[in-house]
Structure 1
Amino acid sequence: MGLMRQDRAQRARAVVAAVLAAGMTAGCVPSTAPGLDPLPQPAVPVTRPGVPPVLPPAQAAQNFVSVVQRVEPVAEAICRERSRGRMNCDIEIVIDKRPNLPPNAFQTEDNLGRPVVGFTLSLIADARNADEIAFVLGHEAAHHISGHLPRQQQTATTGALLGTLLGQATGADPAALQQLQELGATVGARRFSKEFELEADALGAEIAFRAGYDPVRGAGFFARLPDPGDQFLGSHPPNAQRQAQVAAVVAQLRRSY
């Protein structure tokens, strides 16, 4: 287990509550952490009828710590079940305390190859219930369990190589060659992005469910995000498709348990 093990939980709860209480709000500076594409961010807070209210800082902090304590061991157990020792399943959960970052969660790896799941403080503050935090944590852990990061890096490398070959074949100058390499890498990295997101939604829902949370309620945060639709080279599927995916997975899980 990572950040929230044993006596660290009380300290983490105090840190999160104190910073949230200080009036942290989402800004417009994107996360610079490496890893898979973050969730699409609204330019301004989205308010709609029926959307749960923002929680008091102390409750938001309590929800986060409690969720990590329950979801992290489940995610690690599923990781071990599926990888059978071929993957590092010691997930480190961290909080990005930099000010003015928008609500975001990401999955990456440290220099030793250990899986890392990160949350910005503004995401913790924006989560309207523990189920939302549980679903997001499960989703990000699922990216690691499914091997999405190395697969994305591989397709980006292949795309950059194809861009290079195209540039060389057409006699592109150095500047044009670099542009083709970057375009190829972008297309390659995003070739399976929507597929990866739906896979992570499905496995993330299972992780949250097995930890005792309601993934359907947790996926309610999609209602507060702008719908990415079906954009060219977009990295995320339409919100309705993702919510339907979660609902279908949970319905199947409820029949199985």
Structure 2
Amino acid sequence: MIARFRITVLLLPLLALLAGCDVPGTGPVARPPAGTIDIPISVDAAARRFVSVAERVEPVAERVCRRDAPDLNCDFRIVVDDNPQAPINAFQLVDKSGHPVIVVTVPMIAYVQNDDEMAFILSHEAAHHIARHLDRRRESTRAAALIFASAAARGGASGAALDTAARLGAVLGSRVYAKDYELEADAIGARIARDAGFDPINGARYFERSPDPGNRFLGTHPPNSNRVEAVRAALR
């Protein structure tokens, strides 16, 4: 179940859910190690910190969105996935009404160590919308699927073989720019977090506690060192 947050409510419902989470560490922002989460502050403080940070980040993200992408819907909605068994995760999507939505799981709220990390994560997800990454990935996926299917058809493929080629193209198309999108979101997010009054350099220390994905071919995330450098470069 996803609980509506919209920057003003959802506080007390989080308190009982934050205790004793044991989840695998997967997610688009970074991947902390698996195992029991060590909550560095009280459950009450973790929930209140999230609300406080979100209230400061959202209006700045909206202002940057309206400035840099005025044709987009910039009315961000921040929601909490209240499943305590969800992975440590945060991601961005667009709802049926066209509003950009930032989803943060309860284990992620418990895992972050300070306001700067929480601000950087929220800002990073807002940046994905501002940079139109969902639309750009969708276009790349469709184009690659069409290219692969056309090539297969010219080679005489049909039926299941044609479908397989299209699916392979779609997978490759969805990943070819994935690392670039993450670095772009890190850079834009760093500036949003800074303008909201947080320290993005300290926020990016989140990666120090996350397994490094390395520079895998068609990987979905760049090396952690590249992400930290993207933050530093954006703030120079």
The answer (yes or no) to whether the contact 1:46–1:225 under 8 Å persists in 2 is: no
Q: 1:139 to 1:175 in 2, by over 3 A?
A: same
Matching residue within 154, 172, 185 for 1:200? 185
Bigger drift between 221-230 and 87-96 goes to 221-230
Is 2:124–2:189's contact at 8 Å kept on the other side of the alignment?
A: yes
CA distance in 1, matches of 2:172, 2:42: 42
User: Following superposition of structure 1 onto structure 2, how do residues 3-42 of structure 1 map, counting pairs within 5 Å?
Assistant: 3-6=5-8, 8=9, 12-21=10-19, 23-27=20-24, 38-42=28-32
How much has 1:113 moved relative to structure 2? 1.5
Q: Distance in 1 between matches of 2:110 and 2:46?
A: 6
Q: CA RMSD in A?
A: 2.1
Counterpart of 2:44 (choices 54, 58, 63) is 58
2:93 corresponds to which residue? 108
What is the rounded CA distance, in whole Å, between the counterparts of 1:54 and 1:174 in structure 2? 55
Which amino acid in the other structure matches residue 76 of structure 1?
E
Given that 2:89 and 2:108 are in contact with CA atoms closer than 8 Å, whether structure 1 keeps it comes out as: yes
- Counterpart residue type for residue 5 of structure 2: L
Name 1:81's counterpart in structure 2: 67
2:214 pairs, out of 220, 229, 241, with 229
1:43 Cα deviation from its structure 2 partner: 5.1
Identity %: 43
In structure 2, distance between residues paired with 1:245 and 1:123: 22
Query: What is the TM-score normalised by the length of structure 1?
Result: 0.84
Check the 8 A contact 1:163/1:183 in 2, yes or no.
yes
Q: In the alignment, is residue 244 of structure 1 matched against residue 221 of structure 2?
A: no
Structure 1 unaligned residues grouped into runs of 5+: 31-36, 253-257
Cα distance in 1 between the residues matched to 2:59 and 2:157: 52
Q: Deviations over 1:237-257 (max 9, x none)?
A: 11001011112223x2xxxxx
Query: What are the superposed Cα offsets for residues 129-187 of structure 1, whole Å, 9 maximum, x if unpaired?
Result: 11111000000000001111101000000011112112211222422222211110111
**Count of residue pairs the alignment pairs up:** 233
Distance 1:46 1:241 in 2: 28
TM-score normalised by the chain length of structure 2: 0.92
